Amino acid sequence: MLGKIESREQLISEIADALQQNFEYGDAWFYVSPAKNEVGLYMDGSMSDPVYPDDEEEIVKIEPLESHESFGCMEDFADHVEDERIQRVLFRALQRRHPFSSFRYAVEDVNLLQDWYAFKNEWYKQKAEEWMHYNDVDFKDGHITAKHTVTFLLEDEDSGVENDDDV
């Protein structure tokens, strides 16, 4: 769905992007498909036309990070800022009612937006590598490998459940 994976770096980047996604409407999630050598996106019909993995396709579902984990990315960035005044501004933003948007505005106000994006990108790539290690997913000899997959069963798509038997 998102294109064939041609390198380990591309796989890491695709998984990093998937870990950042928090869908607010409907049922949507990313998955790794070793057979198709790609990262795909499952969407039910409430967002658009339904898109599913193939029936009985072996996949590894990618769960997005919890908001508290993403919050940790912002804390890590603030910790790495050397200017104590700017660091205080960023930590104050994290204590506000809407910390994600407050932090984004604070980063822009102190002219660190590009630094923030670069840091965030690398932070999520590190999380993607951790996810790959934890889920026994890798890219070797031109192909995605996965030791523990689940079989997607189209007949179960109404409940949003896949068969959890390891293959």
- Name the DSSP class of 26: S
pLDDT at 161: 46
pLDDT at 24: 55
**Along the 167 residues of the chain, how does pLDDT read in single tens digits?**
467 999 999 999 999 999 988 665 557 889 999 999 999 988 876 556 667 888 999 999 998 888 899 999 999 999 999 999 999 999 999 999 999 999 999 999 999 999 999 999 999 999 999 999 999 999 999 999 999 999 998 876 554 445 554 43
Question: Three-state SS string across 49-78, please?
Answer: CCECCCCCEEEEEECCCCHHHHHHHHHHHH
pLDDT in tens, 27-68: 788 999 999 999 998 887 655 666 788 899 999 999 888 889
**Interior/surface letters 82-113, b for 16+ CB within 10 angstroms, e for the rest:** eeeebbebbbebeeeeebeebbeebbeebebe
SS3 (DSSP) at 139: strand
SS3 (DSSP) at 34: coil
Residue 103 to residue 6: CA distance in whole angstroms: 35
- Name the DSSP class of 47: T
- Burial-class residue 20 by CB neighbours within 10 Å (0-12, 13-18, 19+): middle
